[in-house]
Chain A
Amino acid sequence: MATLSRIGRWTLLGASGALLVAMTLLTVVDVVGRYVFNAPLPGAFEATEIMLALAIFAGLPIVTARRDHVRVGLVVDRLPAGAQKVVGAISDLLVAALLLGAAILLFDQGEGLARFGDTTVLLRIKLAPVAYALSLLCAVSALVAAVRFVDRLRR
């Protein structure tokens, strides 16, 4: 379990890091190409869009695992330990349920895109697989949040 989560973490971090590098380099090549060689990369922005989406959602399981999501601790951090545990557990469960819901909705988006064979305008990248990938990453995050919920109850 521990090894699995380590492999998963490094794969996801590696993937989103690599996507960020690719986005940076793509922009540099596009701008330099436009001004120096008078040859911009057609459709660079479409590739950037898709890489951005994948990078963000690849980070989601990690941020969820680290409980790094921004929250206001003003009131809840002053409650007694027992109450904090209950409120925290409910909050974890909510996060898990919402992530699962997001995964289902993104899967539906994918179905819709697949039915009409939607692609991007210039590069003709198929959009359905992108939606499926985002859905899968949301589902993984939901699983991570559920594990956190169980962890909190056990402690």
Chain B
Amino acid sequence: MMGLEPWVPGLVVLLAFIMAGVPIAFAMALVGTGGLVLLLGPRGALSIVGQTLFDTGLSYTLSVVPLFILMGNFVTRAGLSDKLYAACYSWLGARRGGLPMATAMACGGFSAVCGSSLATAATIGKVALPSMRQYGTADSLAAGVIAAGGTLGILIPPSVILVIYGVTTSQDIGALFIAGIIPGLLGVLGYMMAVRMTCWINPDAGPRGPTTTLHEKLVATKGVAGVLALFILVIGGIYAGIFTATEAAGIGAFGAFLIALFSGRLTLRGLGEALTETAATTTMMFAILAGALIFASFVNIAGLPKALTGFLEAADLAPFWVLASILLVYLVLGMVLESLSMILLTVPIFAPIVAGLGYDLIWFGILVVVMTEISLITPPVGLNVFVLKSVMPDVPLGTIFKGVVPFILADVARVALILTIPGLALWLPSLMG
């Protein structure tokens, strides 16, 4: 095809709509439909759009999304975050930088029962922040560790983003979940090291908390039994092949409901709120999903994948550098786009290229999710940072972004590590039953 290909103005118009504040889902649906009408005529285009709208709703695999969101909402209401933080704090709190390190660890633990980064940051933030402030942790460090720790929500299974990635690339969702475990633990470790480094540079940033006795430690540790049981039930069940990821989500939501019920904190009103919040979040996500699918049909028919492959062939790069450039694209896009839309817009285009180069799509999925984690804390749109801003309104945004820098460095190191040692992601799934 000569001259300007139709996907180029399509992308430009889409970005213009998004920047003008049109809801992303609707911007994608509008530009996608418009483009399809130009390419295929109104009849063909509208039948594709109608079919997409109907099929997106009726997808069995995607029913995993609301059920995992529901599980996270119940767990939040059961007060498990308080117990998790108390347990991590009892072991680490008395060290230099111990409180923020305990926060990073609690975030990792909460991620094991919650599939959303924003929820993890908001929930742990509510518990950890008052305690860190009480003992004089620097605002920048406190905010940074919660914003960064929260991002683990989408990597440590269950993960809503990994489900969406799995559906878009037809990869096994169970395998993706299991692949996220080691990189997620590496994330916790990296964030703890980032706290240590910060305290080493500025010893006043992370004062010690009071010491705890062994008895107190053991009592506090017993409090994480609920989280642990739920994680073993859900992820263990997937790992052992006892149930599918979709079934695991239903079981997990039910288990979390029981935990919330027996915690004595779940009121009828709380139950209603958990359900309605879940419904609203799910609708939001599916609107974006439907919009992205319509837009993806347009750019596919308009020849974007072919153009990109042609460009890569002409550039004659080594496969590794192609992959590295793709990851760089995520870093840039992540600064302006919301994470779900970013994944839905890019993965259908990049995944075939990456698979064509002979790379494993499960491994690529983990890399994409870690890049997405970074996008959640980089300015100017880092969503997790805004969650923090709503929890601590008196701290300027600039201070939070400054506090996040050491954690971004830890994340970059983690991407490099997973990129050079694919086994970090692929070893555990290879053992699955």
A131 and B54 contact, CB distance less than 8 A: yes
Task: Tell me the bound Cα distance from A106 to B58 in angstroms.
Answer: 13
Given A27-B246, A56-B286, A106-B50, output 17 extra A-B contacts at Cβ < 8 Å. Answer: A17-B278, A24-B70, A35-B242, A49-B58, A51-B63, A52-B59, A53-B54, A56-B66, A60-B283, A62-B276, A62-B283, A69-B24, A71-B18, A72-B381, A91-B22, A109-B54, A130-B58
Question: Are B30 and A20 interface neighbours, CB within 8 A?
Answer: no
The interface size bin for chain B is 35 or more
Whether A70 lies near B24 (C-beta < 8 A) is yes
Contact check: which of A49, A54, A55, A101 meets B60 at CB < 8 Å? A49
In the complex, B287 has a CB within 8 A of chain A? yes
Q: Which residues of B18-66 have CB atoms within 8 Å of chain A's CB atoms?
A: 18-26, 29-30, 33, 46, 49-51, 53-54, 57-60, 62-63, 66
A19 closest partner in B (C-beta): B279
B155 interface residue (CB < 8 Å to A): no
List the A side residues contacting B246 at CB < 8 Å: 27, 45, 48
Contact assessment for A24 and B60 in the assembled complex, using a CB-CB cutoff below 8 Å: no
Q: Is the CB of B50 within 8 A of A109?
A: yes
Q: List CB contacts (< 8 Å) of B343-399 with chain A.
A: 380-381
Q: What mask results when residues 29 to 44 of chain A are scored 1 for a CB within 8 Å of chain B, else 0? A: 0110001000000000
Asked if B282 lies at the interface with its beta carbon under 8 angstroms from chain A, I say yes
B254 touches A50 (CB 8 A): no
For window 51-99 of chain A, which residues contact chain B by CB distance below 8 Å?
51-60, 62-63, 66, 68-77, 87-88, 90-91, 94-95, 98
Cβ contact of B381, chosen from A25, A74, A108, cutoff 8 A: A74
* A27 pairs with B249, CB closer than 8 A: yes
Tally of contacts, chain A with chain B, CB under 8 A: 177
Interface of B is mostly: helix
> Would you give the 0/1 interface string for B260-295, flagging 1 where the beta carbon is closer than 8 Å to chain A?
000000000000100110111011101110000000
Please report which residues of chain B, range 225-253, place their CB below 8 angstroms from some CB of chain A when the two chains form the complex.
Answer: 242-243, 246-247, 249-251, 253
Give B contacts to A, CB under 8 Å.
Answer: 18-26, 29-30, 33, 46, 49-51, 53-54, 57-60, 62-63, 66-67, 70, 242-243, 246-247, 249-251, 253-254, 257, 272, 275-276, 278-280, 282-284, 286-288, 336-338, 340-341, 380-381
A21 interfacial contact with B, CB 8 Å:
yes
Contacting pair B53 A102 (CB below 8 A): yes
Nearest CB of chain B from residue A35's CB, rounded to whole Å: 8
B158: min CB distance to chain A, Å? 14
CB < 8 Å neighbour of A69 from B26, B30, B275: B26
Instruction: Provide the bound-state CA to CA distance between A3 and B336, in Å.
Output: 40
**CA A65 to CA B282, docked complex, whole Å:** 15
Residues of B contacting A108 with CB < 8 Å?
46, 50
A28 to B257, CA, bound (A): 12
Inter-chain contact B53/A13, CB cutoff 8 Å: no
**Once the chains bind, are A17 and B283 in contact (CB under 8 Å)?**
no
